Every structure is written in C-alpha cells, then in structure tokens.
Structure 1
Amino acid sequence: MATKPMRKSQKTKLYRWRWTGLGPNGRKVAGEMIAPKRVEVENTLKGQSIAIKNIRRKSAIGGGMGSIKPRDIMLFARQMATMIRAGVPVLQAFQVVAESLKKPAMSALVQELMNDVAAGSSFSEALRRHPDQFDRLFANLVEAGEQSGSLDHMLERVAAYKEKMESLKSRVKKALWYPAAVIAVGIGVTALLLIKVVPQFESLFQGFGAELPAMTRMTISMSEFAQQYWWWGVLGVMALVFFLRTGMKKSKAFRYRMHKMSLRIPVIGDILDKSSVARYSRTLATTFGAGVPLVEALETAEGAAGNMVYERAIAQIREDVATGQQLNFAMRMTDQFPALAVQMVGIGEEAGSLDAMLNRVADYYEEEVDNKVDTLTSLLEPFIIVVLGVLVGGLVISMYLPIFELGSVI
C-alpha cells in the first residue's frame, strides 16, 4: 500500500517547449519539442548543432495523461508489435515508442508503463493500472501473449480489433449525427427568419392599411412568439440535454430505458442493433480466439456491446454458459440476437471453429451497418432539400403575399 504514493510521484510531467535558434549554416530555425525539463531541450538542440536563441515553455500536460484517443492506443499496439517481432527487448521497445509518439499525453503514458515494467511488473499488470486507456480485452490478450510467447501476434490482434471497432463506431456516429445536423439546420434557419427577417416585413405591412392574408398573419404571430420566447427555447434545449446526460450517468435504469428506446427508432434503431451484434461478435471472437476461457471472454464482450439492452443479454448468456449451456442456445434464450447470428454461432460450435464463425458474423453485420448508413444518408439528402424548401419557401411566400395582392389591386 505504501508504494502507491511513490508511484504517483514518479509520473513524468511533460511540457511543450517552443524554441528558436540558428542552424549550422546560420539559417533561422524554430520548432516545438516535448520534454520534462528545459535542460533536455537544450541538450537535444546542441546535439543537432543548433545555436539556441530562445526556449519558451508553452503548456503543461498534467500528470502525463491528457486526452488519449482509441486510435492512439491502436498505434501504440502496432508499434510495440513491430518492435517485439524485430527482437527488440520490451523495455527498449517502450523507450523507442515513447520517443516516436507525437502526442505528449501518450508519450508520458508509455513512459509510465516502462517504469512499471522496469520495477518488476509484467506488461499486462502495467496495463491494468491504467483501465481508462487499456480495457480488459487489451490486458487479457497481452497476458495470453506473455504466457504463450506470442506477444507480438497478440498485440497485432489487439490493433486490428481496435481498428475495426473504431471504424464501426465512426459509421454509427455518422448515422446519428447526420439527422441531428439536418434538424438543427432546419430549426436554425427558421428561427433566423422569424426573429430577424419577418419583423422587417411586419413594419412594412403596417402602412398598407389593409387586412393581411391568413398565411401572413400566422407567420407574423409565429415571429412575435419567437422574438418573445426564443431564449426560453434555448434554455429548454440546454435543460433537456443536461437532464439526459445527468440521467444517463447517474441512473442505470434510466440509461437502460434510453438505450432500449433508441433501438426502436426507425432506421437508426436498426443500425444501433446491428452495431451491438457486430461489436459483441468481434470482441468475443478476438478474446476467445486468443485462448481466453469462454465465460471470461463473454464478460469482456459484455462491456464492449455499447448498449445496456445487449449488456444484460450477454450477462444472461454468461450465466447460462457457466452452468453448461451451449453458447448458441444461450443466445437464443435471450430473444435479442438475430436468428442468423445464432445459427452461425451454432455451426461454429459444432465445427470447432467458434472464433472464425464469430468473426464472420461480425463482418456480416458490420457490412449491414455500412449499407444502412449509406441508405440513410441517401434518403436524408432529398429530405433536407424538401424540409428546408418548405420552411424557407413557406415563410418567403407568406411575406410576399400581401405585396402580390397589392400589386393586383393597383
């Protein structure tokens, strides 16, 4: 227990340094460098025969952690796999990778891993000390690689898995953000016209001295309402977003209901459903294929499903498999997984190639997600034109109707 504070004090705090100087031929040079101390920057520049004029510290990377993305972890896994396959010792591989990484937060994290391994921990134990960056699957596969002597192969498998998962996530995000952007643009354009443009016409119509068309009166009423209560609308949207975010974080029951409701949204729900099946299949195939016991592999897959409805279903599958049930039968009992996925898993179990069949299931449903996203995008493009045309065109016509009628009278 006494070693924890010491470990925290050993974390490398990195800074970003901006430097200027003169090169060997007298040419002005400048750049940025990441290092814990100014003297290290000076030594590095002197080693490159650069006459230093100025070194200024720009910002600190607190605790060496910062913002680390899944793609950074994927790059780290590939680089470590390449180094280990080339016969480079693990500690030296850590050092080379830390120096090659451009993101200071990731570089500091790799240095912490190197310090842990140098202090006697195994690679997998060092990874488990950073659960926010390295999930259970990463640590389990590295541990399996250490035990079997195939660490480079396992790291490559982790990198390939991360790459496929990030690709799937990006497609799902595209499916979610595109409709949201369409709605936001439509609301924004309508609000701008009602608050800024319509009042200009209203002042013009007051001098007509004639009754305005019903469509124009309705637009003016909407404009007056928008001018008076627009900030209530903004506050309402902010309050709704805050309520949803807080409820999702603090209440599992609320999060489950929201996840269940999201699966029922037309088109988008189908994309989320197939995405969860693909993530479950890919994670289970990767962990089970690496030699991790099926029950433990299911526990890892449960955390990777991305939807609480599927997380509960996978938890039930894990309990049934632990009592001796076959995986395909346990999946069928949840009444959550598609019949095709259940049948393919059953074939894989009978043939003794469960991991290969799960990978095929993941490939199939990832392709389905891709096709659904493309279909959604192609359908929304004409929908955007129609919605914006109706909103903008309707407001414009309602404003010009009195002018047209006035012209016909004259």
Structure 2
Amino acid sequence: MANKEKKQLQFLWEGKDKSGNNSKGRICADSISKAKTALRQQGITPKKVHRESSFTLFDKKKAAVKPVDIAFFTRQMSTMMKAGVPLLQGLEIVANGVEKDKLREMILGIRNDVNGGSDFSQALSKYPDYFDALFCNLVQAGEHSGALETMLDRIATYKEKLESLKAKIKKAMTYPAAVLVVGILVSAILLVKVVPQFETIFKGFGADLPAFTRLVVQLSEFAQDWWLIGLAASIGAGLAFAKAKKRSQKFADSVDRTMLKVPVIGSILHQASIARFARTLATTFAAGVPLVDALDSAAGASGNVVYRNAILQIKNGVSTGQSLQSATVITGVFPNMATQMIAIGEEAGSLDMMLSKIADFYEEAVDNAVDNLSDLLEPLIMVVLGVLVGGLVIAMYLPIFQLGSAV
C-alpha cells in the first residue's frame, strides 16, 4: 500500500528579504525546519517561524471547496501568469494566500504534480470533483497553443459568469420559498402558542363564539396535537424529494420540465439555460475546440434536461452537415433572436463573439427578471403576513368586540 502523503502545516514567519527589508507572511511545509529551508530558497532570512493556530470558533478553514473558490483560483492564476510569474511559483503564492485547508492542500498537490513533470491539465484532472473535463480540456488547449495565461483568463471569466448566473437563479428560487416558510412559521407559532391563551378566556364567556373564531380555535387544537408529526412529515418529504432527485434521473428530468412551466420562475430558467448554452459554446469554440465537442460541453452545462436534449439534438444535426443556426431552429426551444444572431455569427465568421453577445443579453435578462421578482414579492410578503397575522388577531378579538357591544 502506498504511503499517504504527509499533510502540510501552515506557518507564520517574519524575516528579511533579499533587499534587507522586513517581511512576513505564511508558508506551508511539513515542519518548521522545512519551512525555514523553503524560505531561504526564496531568498528570505527567517527570524521567527511558528505554526499558525488552527482553532477558531467558526472554523472556515475546514469548509468545503465551492465552485466560486475554483473561479477565484482560476482568476488568480490568470493574473499571476499575465504578470510573468512562473506556474510553479504562482501556485505556491496562491496556496499560501487561501484560507480553506482543503483548497490549499489541493493547490499544493497540483503544484507537486507539476513540479514532478505532469502537465498542468493532467494535475488538475486528478481532482474531477472541482475541475471537470471541460476545464481540463481548455487548460490543455492553452498549454498546447502556448497561451495558457490567455486561456486561464477565458476560463476565469466563464466560471465567474456561470457562478453569477447560478447565484441569481438561486435567489429567484429562494425568495418565494422564504415567503411561504415565514408565513407558515408565523401562523404555526400563533396557533400553537397564542390562540390557546385566548381560548381559556373564551371559555369563561359562557356564550357561543363567532364561526370564524371557532374555526381558528379548531385549527389551533389540531396544530397542538399534530405539529410534531407535521414537522417530521415536512422534513421527511423534503429529504425524500432531494434523495429521489439525486438518485433517479427520470424524476430529476420531470422536475426540470415542471419548473420550466412555473410562472415567472420558468421564464427565468429558460433565459438562464440559453445564457449557459451560449456562454459555454462561446468559450469552448473560441478556444479552438471543434464545434461538435463544444456542443457536448454546452449540453452538460445547460442545467436543464429540456435544453440538454435540445443541444444534443443540435449536435447530431451539426454532425450530419447542418448549420448551427438551422439545427438550433429545429429544436423549437431557442427564441428567434438567439437563432438569428447565431446565423449572423456564422455568416460573418465571428460565431464566438456573437455567442458571447447572446450570453450577455440573456444574463442581463435574468438579472432584471430576478430584480423584478424581488420587487414584486416585497409587497406580497406584507400582504401574506398581514392576512395571516391580521386574520388570526381578528378571530381572537372578535368575541371580545361582540361582548363589548352587548354590554
């Protein structure tokens, strides 16, 4: 069995650089002695080297590596290489600057592989959870063309645009759910905690309660008896839904199709899928990837089964000699504006530029739609909460008002 690679530690150091100026920073190494050796190799005379404390109340260092971290890493590497920093040194500098342990270990692992003779793309491919085939293929294309820094810049832009789009979609999906959850929680608290207090008062009236009040009291009794089961059922249903969507492709596809039909949300998802298709295709095609292979990547990045199937249909059409524009029209899911711009790009020989403009247009459309949805939901939240809370309050005080009028 191969020995596990020893986990590198992080050390804080203070010392003097080659010019004799005081300097300080972080460095990763297996031990203090190796940290000092590494600093001397960099032309730094270390004075103080000590291990950085790993204790924090909310430890962000152990947090999982997210796609936004990969986008930031790519942007940093692009900036380093454009500034003339060698690849190995750039990886070392970026690794020393990140906070998350997992991300740092991964970058240092990539650096070690490159230092051992592997291509950058080969080193990245060892971490498929973070660097997919598209990412590695684009880096490989950049290495072969001798323009790795330019390719990293394109990839960074692509990842940043994609993550920004995902954040907008998440916002659009989360806001309505938040309104619903807040309304349910407020109603549940009132029914379980507040209404019973009024119910004890009503029993001393010795008179029939109004129908609306009786309904609310019955709902309160039901909520007190079944709230725990209802909560467990809701959590169970949520977990079952997530598990079914993850394990059953057929179920996940049906959810995708259904979401596209939801008012407002469906329109945002349509526009987001078109933006992803155009952005991915523009990036890969501009990198010199053959159109058929680029369409494969675009299908995987579309984010919805309807568009994934449509793009694969386009790929089959292009493979048999159809133009991209005519193959896109046949699918019936892409708007006329997008197909016409694709046709112009093909005729002018600037397809990648035209696809980028399509992506920019639909990304802006998603941004505007999400902002409009937020503006629409803000008064809706007030109305929903006002009806729920106001209705319960009226139901509770109605008997008191009737009693006062009778007196």
* TM-score computed with the length of structure 2 as normaliser: 0.88
Residues 1:279 and 2:276 are matched in the alignment: yes
Once residues 390 and 101 of structure 1 are traced to their aligned partners in structure 2, the CA distance between those partners, rounded to angstroms, is 48
The amino acid of 1:39's aligned partner reads: I
Alpha carbons of structure 1 residues 345 and 40: separation in structure 2 relative to 1, 3 Å:
farther
What does 1:355-374 correspond to in 2, within 5 Å? Answer: 355-374=352-371
Q: Which residue of 2 aligns with 1:28?
A: none
Q: CA deviation at 1:102?
A: 2.7
Q: Residues 26-45 of structure 1: CA distance to partner in whole angstroms, max 9, x if unpaired?
A: xxxxxx9774545369858x
The amino acid of 2:163's aligned partner reads: E
Q: CA deviation at 1:97?
A: 2.2
Residues 1:39 and 2:32 are matched in the alignment: yes
Q: CA deviation at 1:272?
A: 0.8
Q: CA deviation at 1:341?
A: 1.0
Q: Which residue of 2 aligns with 1:238?
A: 235
Q: Which residue of 1 aligns with 2:188?
A: 191
Once residues 373 and 144 of structure 1 are traced to their aligned partners in structure 2, the CA distance between those partners, rounded to angstroms, is 36
The amino acid of 1:181's aligned partner reads: A
Higher mean C-alpha deviation, range 249-258 or range 317-326: 317-326
Higher mean C-alpha deviation, range 385-394 or range 138-147: 138-147
Q: Which residue of 1 aligns with 2:131?
A: 134
The amino acid of 1:9's aligned partner reads: K
Residues 1:13 and 2:10 are matched in the alignment: no
- Does the Cα contact within 8 Å between 1:35 and 1:41 map onto a contact in 2? no
What does 1:131-280 correspond to in 2, within 5 Å? Answer: 131-280=128-277
Once residues 244 and 343 of structure 2 are traced to their aligned partners in structure 1, the CA distance between those partners, rounded to angstroms, is 38
Once residues 204 and 82 of structure 2 are traced to their aligned partners in structure 1, the CA distance between those partners, rounded to angstroms, is 84
Where 2:273 maps in the other structure, the secondary structure is helix
Once residues 211 and 174 of structure 1 are traced to their aligned partners in structure 2, the CA distance between those partners, rounded to angstroms, is 48
Q: Which residue of 2 aligns with 1:308?
A: 305
Once residues 281 and 167 of structure 1 are traced to their aligned partners in structure 2, the CA distance between those partners, rounded to angstroms, is 15
Q: Which residue of 2 aligns with 1:339?
A: 336
Q: Structure 2, unaligned stretches of length 5 or more?
A: 15-24
Alpha carbons of structure 1 residues 395 and 250: separation in structure 2 relative to 1, 3 Å:
same
Once residues 136 and 295 of structure 2 are traced to their aligned partners in structure 1, the CA distance between those partners, rounded to angstroms, is 15
Alpha carbons of structure 1 residues 16 and 338: separation in structure 2 relative to 1, 3 Å:
same
- Does the Cα contact within 8 Å between 1:33 and 1:41 map onto a contact in 2? no
Q: Number of residues paired by the alignment? A: 388
- Does the Cα contact within 8 Å between 1:65 and 1:108 map onto a contact in 2? no
Q: CA deviation at 1:337?
A: 1.4
Q: Which residue of 2 aligns with 1:406?
A: 403
Where 1:9 maps in the other structure, the secondary structure is coil
Once residues 97 and 55 of structure 1 are traced to their aligned partners in structure 2, the CA distance between those partners, rounded to angstroms, is 18
- Does the Cα contact within 8 Å between 1:274 and 1:366 map onto a contact in 2? yes
Alpha carbons of structure 1 residues 57 and 93: separation in structure 2 relative to 1, 3 Å:
closer
Q: Residues 285-308 of structure 1: CA distance to partner in whole angstroms, max 9, x if unpaired?
A: 001011111111111111111112
Where 2:204 maps in the other structure, the secondary structure is coil
Superposed CA RMSD in Å reads: 2.7
Q: CA deviation at 1:16?
A: 6.5
Q: Which residue of 1 aligns with 2:292?
A: 295
Once residues 263 and 209 of structure 1 are traced to their aligned partners in structure 2, the CA distance between those partners, rounded to angstroms, is 55
Alpha carbons of structure 1 residues 35 and 148: separation in structure 2 relative to 1, 3 Å:
closer
Once residues 346 and 238 of structure 1 are traced to their aligned partners in structure 2, the CA distance between those partners, rounded to angstroms, is 49
Taking only the aligned residue pairs, the percentage that are identical comes to: 51
- Does the Cα contact within 8 Å between 1:275 and 1:365 map onto a contact in 2? yes
- Does the Cα contact within 8 Å between 2:27 and 2:96 map onto a contact in 1? no
Where 2:263 maps in the other structure, the secondary structure is coil
Alpha carbons of structure 1 residues 314 and 207: separation in structure 2 relative to 1, 3 Å:
same
Once residues 82 and 33 of structure 1 are traced to their aligned partners in structure 2, the CA distance between those partners, rounded to angstroms, is 20
* TM-score computed with the length of structure 1 as normaliser: 0.88
Q: Which residue of 1 aligns with 2:21?
A: none
Once residues 403 and 34 of structure 2 are traced to their aligned partners in structure 1, the CA distance between those partners, rounded to angstroms, is 77
Task: Determine which of 117, 120, 144 is the counterpart of 2:117.
Answer: 120
Q: Which residue of 2 aligns with 1:93?
A: 90
- Does the Cα contact within 8 Å between 2:296 and 2:315 map onto a contact in 1? yes
- Does the Cα contact within 8 Å between 2:10 and 2:52 map onto a contact in 1? no
Once residues 348 and 257 of structure 2 are traced to their aligned partners in structure 1, the CA distance between those partners, rounded to angstroms, is 34
Q: CA deviation at 1:402?
A: 0.7
Q: Which residue of 1 aligns with 2:18?
A: none
Once residues 157 and 325 of structure 1 are traced to their aligned partners in structure 2, the CA distance between those partners, rounded to angstroms, is 28
Alpha carbons of structure 1 residues 56 and 36: separation in structure 2 relative to 1, 3 Å:
same
Once residues 66 and 397 of structure 1 are traced to their aligned partners in structure 2, the CA distance between those partners, rounded to angstroms, is 48
Once residues 55 and 89 of structure 1 are traced to their aligned partners in structure 2, the CA distance between those partners, rounded to angstroms, is 27
Alpha carbons of structure 1 residues 147 and 65: separation in structure 2 relative to 1, 3 Å:
farther
- Does the Cα contact within 8 Å between 2:113 and 2:123 map onto a contact in 1? yes
What does 1:34-73 correspond to in 2, within 5 Å? Answer: 35=28, 37=30, 39=32, 43=36, 49-50=47-48, 58=55, 67-73=64-70
Alpha carbons of structure 1 residues 209 and 71: separation in structure 2 relative to 1, 3 Å:
same
Once residues 393 and 167 of structure 2 are traced to their aligned partners in structure 1, the CA distance between those partners, rounded to angstroms, is 38
Q: Residues 265-319 of structure 1: CA distance to partner in whole angstroms, max 9, x if unpaired?
A: 1000110110011011001000101111111111111111111221111122112
Where 1:292 maps in the other structure, the secondary structure is coil
Q: Residues 344-371 of structure 1: CA distance to partner in whole angstroms, max 9, x if unpaired?
A: 1111111111111111111111111111
Q: CA deviation at 1:233?
A: 1.4
